[in-house]
Structure 1
Amino acid sequence: MKNVTLISCLLCLFLLPFYVSAQPALSQPQPRFQAGIIAGGNFSQVDGDLDAGVHKVGLNAGFSSYTMLAPNVYLNLELLFSQKGSRYAREWQSYAGPYLMVYQMKLNYIEVPLLLHYELAPRWVIGAGVSYNRLVQSQERYRGLYAWNDFDPEKYPYKKNEWEYVGSASFRLSNKVIAELRYQYSITPVRAVADIPQDFSGYKAQRNNLFALRIGYYL
């Protein structure tokens, strides 16, 4: 169901420009500085666990600013609350027979992305940069045969600081509204191999791997 939702969101994002292209052009030149708010969602997975596929949905929201450095070139700095992690289900065996085990990893970050953007056309913008992430909350657990079991974060710690690559493609819906698709991947690991619970390890350091769909409103 979540994969269907993701595909629907992606289709809406990329079909929207065909609708907007029939509308009048941008009413005025872009200002040298804009600040605003961002709201959207992360569609995440964690490389290095026992699963592949985007199954974890979380919030991506906060504040954003654009500063024009040269014609068509912008510096973008943001302060975000960003929810990442992993979620999957698989069949396990027990003395009572097979059962469905559900695993959840929830990682909440304060995120500070810094990107350089280039406006390819009056509406289309591409960007690339890096993002610093500070872990503020984590939860890791699985549902066994009878109940949920939580992992001790002191015994299986995550790294408090993490850096990610960021790539983006944006479309200006108006002078004040921007729709954006981002891809992010960890430069530094989320957790070392030695700190991963044994039965949930892919035998390599864990890294965030996600897409984000966002809408920004700028003054």
Structure 2
Amino acid sequence: MRKTILSTLVMFFFLFASIAKTQAQAALLVLIFGDKAATEKFNFSIVGGINHSNISNQLDNHAMFGTNFGLGINMKLSEKWYFKPEFKPLNSMGFKGNASLKTGTIVDGPFANVPTTRSLNYLDIPVMMHYQAAEKILIGFGPQVNFLTKAQEKFEGKNDATYDQNIKDKLNKTDYGFAAAFTYQLITKRNGKGINLQLRYYQGVSDVYKNLGSNKNSAFSFNLEFPFISDAVAEKKMANLK
């Protein structure tokens, strides 16, 4: 079993490293081949949802909404335990609050203490273990590493003026933390292939900004997961419910 998990992880990271440039390509591969690769103990899935994120210890900060999207692997280890790594090339986080533009030029004038949005996008790799707590309920926990791909700061000044700047060099390139998830399985949906409703919480343990003291990412997410399993496996699941 240990060799199976290791080989799957290696395949997982090499596969998605080669297609990370285009999210649509990754989704298309799963849509085409997902059902064919599925067994009773292994399947791919597509996961996406809404984030409500914030960064700790920032002045006048407010949480903001964002989106997440990616692909997952589901491995059944036993009757109760599942190993579920994911690859999410889209995960938008950040926060809102008032701030002042500081370029040292005349441009700063209209942007003193104005509403400001910090939008961060990460490529996420959560690696979670899930426990089947009840027939339709999974509880999961595990580490997560996030790679910063984009960071923008948008100032909304007077007279509808706006100013955008890239702040990626002010942030750490990698964010580490832990994720916990509660999943409710709609087993009979999609003719037995199912839809999973998931509430997830992420807590970062590393600093987001390089030189601003302690500042950590956190986010609540509501996700939908669409497993890709074969018709035969779906029919067996439906039969077991009768």
Output the TM-score relative to the length of structure 1. Answer: 0.71
Mapped pair 1:148 → 2:162:
yes
**1:49 shift after superposition:** 1.4
More strand by share: 1
Question: How far, CA to CA, are the matches of 2:91 and 2:130 in structure 1?
Answer: 21
Match of 2:86 among 56, 75, 78: 78
Cα deviation 1:38-60 (Å, max 9, x = unaligned): 12111111112113543x11111
Provide the residue aligned with 2:173 in structure 1.
Answer: 160
Mapped pair 1:217 → 2:226:
yes
Cα deviation 1:109-146 (Å, max 9, x = unaligned): 11010001000011011000011101011101322345
Which aligned pairs between 1:67-216 and structure 2 lie closer than 5 A? 67-80=75-88, 81-88=90-97, 101-145=114-158, 147-151=161-165, 153=167, 157-174=170-187, 175-192=193-210, 194=211, 196=212, 204-216=213-225
Mapped pair 1:63 → 2:71:
yes
* Cα pair distance change 1:152/1:62, threshold 3 Å: closer
Question: How far, CA to CA, are the matches of 2:75 and 2:166 in structure 1?
Answer: 43
SS of residue paired to 2:120: strand
Q: Which amino acid aligns with 2:49?
A: G
Q: Percent identity?
A: 23
Cα deviation 1:198-219 (Å, max 9, x = unaligned): xxxxxx3221111010000011
Output the TM-score relative to the length of structure 2. Answer: 0.65
Which aligned pairs between 1:25-40 and structure 2 lie closer than 5 A? 31-40=40-49
**Structure 2: any 5+ residue segments left out of the alignment?**
1-38, 100-111, 188-192, 229-242
SS of residue paired to 1:38: strand
Cα deviation 1:12-56 (Å, max 9, x = unaligned): xxxxxxxxxxxxxxxxxx9211211012111111112113543x1
SS of residue paired to 1:120: strand
Provide the residue aligned with 2:29 in structure 1.
Answer: none
> Which 4+ runs in 1 deviate beyond 2 A?
51-54, 141-154
Asked if 1 retains the 8 angstrom alpha-carbon contact of 2:83 and 2:129, the reply is yes
SS of residue paired to 1:205: coil
SS of residue paired to 1:136: strand
More helix by share: 2
Provide the residue aligned with 1:50 in structure 2.
Answer: 59
Question: How far, CA to CA, are the matches of 2:178 and 2:75 in structure 1?
Answer: 20
**1:191 shift after superposition:** 1.0
Question: How far, CA to CA, are the matches of 2:205 and 2:179 in structure 1?
Answer: 10
Q: Which amino acid aligns with 1:59?
A: T
**C-alpha RMSD of the superposition:** 2.4
